[in-house]
Structure 1
Amino acid sequence: MTAAHGVQGTLDELGTPLAEVTFVVVDLETTGGSPSESAITEIGAVKVRGGAELGDFGTLVDPGGPVPPFITALTGITTAMVTAAPRMDSVLPAFLEFARGCVLVAHNAPFDIGFLKAACTEGGYAWPAFPVVDTVDLARRVLTKDEVPNCKLGTLARYFRAATEPTHRALADARATVDVLHGLIERLGSFGVTSLEELRGFAKAPTSEQRRKRHLADEVPSAPGVYLFEDDAGEVLYVGKSGDLRSRVRSYFTGSETRWRVREMVGLAERVRPIVCATGLEAEVRELRLIAAHKPRYNRRSKFPERALWLKLTVEPFPRLSVVREARADGASYLGPMGSRRQAEEARAALHEAVPLRQCTQRLTLRLIERGRARTCALAELGRCGAPCDGRESPDAYGVHAETARSVMEGDVRPVVAAAQVRIDRLASELRYEEAAAQRDRLAAFVRAAARGQRLAALARLPQLVAAKPAFDGGWELSVVRYGRLAAAGTIPPNAHPRPYVDALIATAETVFPPAGGAPGGVALGDGPSGGATAEEMECVLRWMDAPGVRLVEVDGDWTCPAHGAEGLRRWIDNAYAPVEPDERRRSGRPLR
């Protein structure tokens, strides 16, 4: 009998020991949250190996435009600070050389790496194949809720007693992340993680709960539709959609699902309820309706469609513009809906620049003015208001302004566009580019809100619309839309005569009553059969209808937008925000073309 001999593995098989890995811990400060709409203002990086610091890299970066006030309040970085700083095209090569051959580490790595990749693309550099480690992912696997309430950098820095406190400045936050990384690596030793390969794979491995609950996907069909994760009490935890329900649901129980909130949700889930849909549009709409109805705790978007904002021209003797959360059937004119208060305020500012409506919030009546009890404001003295509060402007004269504002909100946006164009051209000619950019942003917010409202209102007015879209199998997808609401969805098999299928779908479609009025164009956007559809649902329908090959089968009513409305200006506005040549980036307030 021959004895078996043990074979010692090579160092390559064991992986790269963590003590021999050179990490570059990087942090960025930016003007916003999206690489497509924002720019880097500061880069900070620290190079470490074996617990020792080898060097650091830190610089402000000129983003090519103004730093928003809320970013200045958060980071302390002002426009004046970055004006003399180097541009990204000169900073990026130096950073890439500093990090060459190293492992990049960042706290919430997708954010920082996303901006760096975008900078490489813009500068014409190929993104190096950096291995990336995310300290957020590691912390979520290593630490429990009893140890830390969340995985924010400040929380982890305090927990690991970092020598540097995070301050929303790049180099300081990078140094704090270094201490967090070292603390996490020390904790990972108890899990047997000693190499770089084990470190990178640790955060991506499925949790025990994910492995234990893989059977929940067994009965899910391979078909398009919506799926609902429910706990043992029947509460809906999460709603999603997919073209292949089985494949999508199974992915929640694998290492590819790394979102910590979703992993936490999987731990609570006891069943998955699939709802098969005829078309992708039906699945998208059903998802929106189910999220709005159940408000699942693990869904982040579309939970509160009622939180949309509107710009309202009030109904009173001296109307004013007010930002409200509901478009009612009260005879007022509305502009929207808009997704944030900032957009609503900018749209209101653009309209105020074109029409001298009063900006005070008091309820102004003729009796109050006659008795001299109305409050006056500084805008009257500046010539920005006709001052009806002290009788300088008559109700008839003020009514002309109110009627102009109403006309603008209901269709003819030319007065706002013309007024904004004059101001932008003047400011640009005076080299006051930051102020010109602010005026451009106001106009863009107004045009986009008006265009959205006019598109939605046009669809919401139609008693019935039937459309067909080519399907992948050679057949057709059918949709019946009534007052903006998807009332029925179905399919036509390949080579079949369409008329019987169209007639059958129309006959079985949901009954939808006309909305009560009050939104843009006099049409309200409701939330059910008695009130039309939500704005999000109608936008799903419009996106589906904008797809190539879609054909209108039947239209009951007139489907039109105002001749001088905002819909035709959306491309014009988007062109104003299009990328410009590097030597022109500072001129972000260039005239609209």
Structure 2
Amino acid sequence: MIARPASSGHQLAFDELDLSLRNTTFVVVDLETTGGRPNEDAITEIGAVKIRGGEILGEMATLVDPGRTVPPYIVELTGITTAMLVGAPRIERVLPSFIEFARGSILVAHNARFDVGFLKTAAARMDVSWPPFQVLCTVKLARRVLTRDEAPSVKLSSLALLFGVGTRPTHRALDDARATVEVLHNLIERVGNQGVHSYPELVDYLPAVSAAHRAKRHLAHGLPHAPGVYLFRGPSDEVLYVGTSADLHRRVRNYFTGSETRGRMKEMVALATRVDHVECAHAIEAGVRELRLLVAHAPPYNRRSKFPKRGWWIALTAEAFPRLSVVRTPTAQSLGPFAGRTAAVEVAALVAETCRLRTCTRRIAASRRHDGCAVESVGGCAAAADGPQDAETYAPVAQKFRDLSDGISSSVIDELLARIDALAEVELFETAARLRDRTEALVTALRRMQRLGSLARIEQFVAARPAPAGGWEFVVVRYGRLASAGVARRGVPPMPVVAALVAAAETVSPDDTPLRGGSPEEIALVARWLESDGVRVVSATEGYCEPANGAGRYARWCRAVRDISRRERDN
């Protein structure tokens, strides 16, 4: 084995943002083997060259004892004989050294699938962990950069001849690796003339993209490497698309490269004339602002913006003899929201039946009795089963729904579970399964409303989470809505930052609906952030908790039902 030590210069990590190609460390590797099948053949030679900024930092080359004879056609091709490999180290000794040599670099090979395939197979046989190398194939890069007329073949020997490299390929590992280094430098020089100056840009460049599409990459210029929301605008300054990212510059730039494969997005980019942005303190603020912008603009290329105010609620009417009504706008006594009206109607029918609420739509004065309904064996009004009622007698029926919605009592759910068990006991399994699925839909919607409502009831809630780069991310939440957000960077005293955020927070005016007038999507986004790992409560005007007798008690049962339903559909 021969090796030349790497330079003592600092090697930048790949995950540093927008690492330029000049500052990127590559390890160009080439193998010789006993054949072309990684699972059956073995490595006979490894050659590798480490480079950065056009400078060779180190080299590694060694023969490898494959533990078998070398086929005659391989001897003729490479000149490596079985006798030459006697006494050479086995792959068990060589591979760990190569991995250490290449660690932290971009792995480059000519026809990388072949070379990397052999290396990964050898690592698997040895039970050695193969690092998550980024891999660049110079065959693919050459085919992307060079025209067929200029390079009918992209074999290493053909490219070496085309570029007039100093080291000619000889089918020996180190020579071929050195030749690949020169080919790589020539290819990088070509793409540099097309505005590709970093490794992420090089990866994005590999898929074919039209010149007009790529020409719009200037729209990403000036965007910060920071979290936020971006807005693509069209010829009339209309908002075409709204998105969010932890790195605005990188995300928007990707729309003008081959990494964007969605037809709708390519169409959107073709119409776009500029990109606006709103820089945010952290990801949760970006997510909330995105939701609000979707509602404000309903951009045509956002799928979820087609119905930004969708949602159906089951509301208890304000009458002497209340009933359930499916509405778009919630009232103080509501259950929801549901994504579709059909789902809301089915749950409303189940609740009305169980609570014995009337289902007729005629108005009944408080001075009259509810006695105009006949009991029917199928599909009748459940309230009629109790006979004639006045408003005072009927009041506990409506209260039963209120107690269910507010989490004061779960008697309705318990009654439904008992009915499911009773149906199963008499072997009416299909009827029991239908009731089970309807009950699960009720409990799931109720749990979501009570969980979000618990947050929406709190006047002010301040929370913190450790920031990825150190320091703290803060949110100020008022009645479930994000009122302020900020960051105390490493070394900055956090409490003065909190005080400033609270002072500058938006004023929120709640109403008496279950979510206090807030958007279910926004409150759900904030709730997920508050329930994520590492979040700490800084202050709160009251406790953040779900009702003790709410639907949360049945969360495990709902998960089991969903698993059973999924298996039933699969079978």
TM-score band (shorter)?
0.5 to 0.7
The reply on whether 1:277 has 2:280 as its aligned counterpart is: yes
1:553 aligns with 2:553: no
Within 1, Cα distance between the matches of 2:273 and 2:374? 61
Alignment correspondent of 2:522: 537
Task: Show the 5 A alignment for 1:136-535.
Answer: 205-328=208-331, 332-366=332-366, 376=373, 379=376, 384-387=381-384, 392-513=388-509, 515-517=510-512, 519-520=513-514, 524-525=516-517, 533-535=518-520
Contact map agreement 1:346 1:445 (CA 8 A) in 2: no
2:557: which partner in 1?
A: 572
CA deviation map 1:284-321 (0-9, x unaligned): 00000111011111111145443211111111011111
Q: Deviations over 1:444-475 (max 9, x none)?
A: 11111111111222212211110001111121
Following the alignment from structure 2 to structure 1, what is the Cα–Cα distance between the partners of residues 413 and 481? 32
Q: How has the CA–CA distance of structure 1 residues 310 and 480 changed in structure 2, closer, same or farther, with 3 Å as cutoff?
A: same
What is the CA distance between 1:416 and its match in structure 2? 2.1
- Alpha carbons of structure 1 residues 293 and 382: separation in structure 2 relative to 1, 3 Å: closer
Number of residue pairs matched by the alignment: 365
Tell me the amino acid that sits aligned with residue 524 of structure 1.
R
Structure 1: 5+ residue runs without aligned partners? 1-203, 526-532, 589-593
One-letter identity of the residue aligned with 1:229? F
Could you say what secondary structure the match of 1:335 adopts? strand
CA contact (8 A) 2:294 2:308 kept: no
> What is the deviation of 1:503?
1.2
Task: Return the letter of the residue paired with 2:415.
Answer: A
SS at structure 2 position matched to 1:486: strand
Structure possessing the higher relative contact order (Cα contacts under 8 Å, 6 or more residues apart): 1
Deviation at 1:346? Answer: 3.1
| Bigger mean CA deviation after superposition, 207-216 or 333-342 | 207-216
Other structure's SS at 1:387 match: helix
Structure 2 runs not aligned, ≥5 long: 1-206
Residue 434 of structure 2 aligns to a residue in which SS? helix
Partner of 2:17: none
Structure 2: how far apart are the matches of 1:572 and 1:361?
34
Aligned AA (2:479):
Y
Distance 2:339 2:453 in 1: 17
Q: 1:311 is matched by which residue type in structure 2?
A: I
TM-score, normalised with respect to structure 1: 0.57
Greater C-alpha Rg? 2
Q: Distance in 1 between matches of 2:275 and 2:536?
A: 36
In structure 2, what is the Cα distance between the partners aligned to 1:355 and 1:511? 39
SS of equivalent residue, structure 1 residue 281: helix
Q: Is the 8 A contact 2:369 2:390 kept in 1?
A: no
Query: Does the CA-based 8 Å contact 1:347-1:449 persist in structure 2?
Result: no
Asked if structure 1 preserves the Cα contact closer than 8 Å seen for 2:209 and 2:257, the reply is: yes
> For residue 538 of structure 1, what is the amino acid of its counterpart?
I
For 1:412, give the aligned amino acid: I
> What letter corresponds to residue 573 of structure 1 in structure 2?
C
Partner residue in 2 for 1:93: none
The alpha-carbon deviation at position 247 of structure 1 amounts to 1.3
8 A contact 1:451–1:567 mirrored in 2:
yes
State the Cα RMSD in Å.
2.7
